[in-house]
Amino acid sequence: MIRIEGGRPLRGTVRAAGSKNAALPAIMASLLTPEPVVLENIPHLLDVECALDLARALGKSVAWENSTAVLAGGKELAGEAPAELVGRMRASFLALGPVLARRGEAAMPLPGGCALGPRPVDLHLAGLRRLGAEFEVRGGTIFARARRLRGTTVYLDFPSVGATEQLLLAGALAQGETTVVNPAREPEVVDLGVLLTRMGAPVTWHEDRVTVRGRPELGGARHRVIPDRIEAGTYLLAGAITRGEVTVEGARPDHLDALLAKLLDAGAEVEAAEGSVSVRLRRRPEAVHVQTLPYPGFPTDLQPPIVAFLTTAQGRSTARETVFPARFSYVAALTRMGAQLQVSGDTLFADGVEALRGAPVEAPDIRAGAALVLAALAAEETTEIRGEEHLARGYEDLVGKLRTLGAEVCAAP
């Protein structure tokens, strides 16, 4: 449980950790080669631990010290991923392409033990079929075969981050070039391309597509993952919701354009420099309207945190969710804290209140948990948040960083 005594303006500086969503596919990329892959700026998160455990289970030798992970050849690459690990984290499914490309066969449990539900993997499988893979699903596990993947052109109906990463990973060992039309362009996907290029499979971005030139074998590489734009945005919103002033060092302003534009619309002062971003707000924010979109649009992972910020805005704000329709799981908890929220279809309406009040709440997922933390920081009196294990999946040393900014927060039994 996390206990927060709210109502204190946050002031000071924190440093953004490495990006979780860049670290996870980078770890999966290490499966493409027996040579060492050295990954720097790796955040200490439960999801990263899970990805490294999966790499070990598949035969990699893993050493992780401070923020650097070294993944070497270890044993022969295994062909089947443990269901327990894939069930813990959706990004584990990205191991399918590398294992299939190297071994010619792979067995991968469906992520979370579910079928092709609200966050399906059908785009992954359809793309890999275009590269020559064959699939059979038995007992919740996908059995894949391909004597040799062959590069081709794959069109994505939606610019899916996971499907784009899966195809780049598999295409790196495919024969010839693999081109993804309508790819995801999130910074984390671009960062994976940088790593694959360093490993010997050049990745080239064009106006409406991305191409990876496959190689029979890939080498090792040293790579520093980009800063976590979602973590950085969360701390900037923490400063704004408490009407304080927060600087995030190590942040990439160009990765935060959509959020910074909304903060400016809300009346905050924003200062962006190379390697840092600062936000200051001394009064109630103005209402703004947010619509999540694939990058460079407003990120879906920051939708719950910005809604928490807008609960005390002047007037009515709206947030339309176009990426993950089930992303309003935090609404009941924020309502318990005094927020005036209504959801109609894919749109949330927030009528700003003067102040929130502390209450016992539970985090249902990572970003919903971040929204509750932000609300608790601004609320009157004390908030107790359970489900802190979700926050540990996506935020490195959350309690310590908040204390650095002056928050009265502690981890309690």
Annotated active-site residue 50? The verdict is no
Look up tokens 């400063």; give the residue: 239
Of 46, 78, 83, 114, catalytic: 114
* Ranges assigned E (strand) in 285-339: 289-291, 316-320
Element containing residue 347 per DSSP (H, E):
strand 347-351
Q: Give the number of other CB atoms < 10 A from CB of residue 24.
A: 27
Q: Which amino acid is at 18?
A: G
Do the beta carbons of residue 237 and residue 306 sit within 8 Å? yes
Question: Which of these, 291, 286, 281, 300, lies nearest to 241 by C-alpha position?
Answer: 281
Look up tokens 């001394």; give the residue: 282
Element containing residue 196 per DSSP (H, E):
helix 187-199
Look up tokens 């890939």; give the residue: 218
Which tokens hold the place of 283?
């009064």
Number of H helices, E strands in the chain: 14, 23
Beta bridge partners of 334: none
Question: Which of these, 325, 346, 326, 340, lies nearest to 375 by C-alpha position?
Answer: 340
Environment class of 197 (CB within 10 Å of its CB; exposed 0-12, middle 13-18, buried 19+):
middle
Q: Going by DSSP bridges, is the β-strand pair 68-72/11-15 parallel, antiparallel, or unpaired? A: unpaired
Report the distance separating Cα 261 and Cα 284, nearest Å. 17
Q: What letter does residue 110 receive in the DSSP assignment?
A: P
Which residues are designated catalytic? Answer: 114
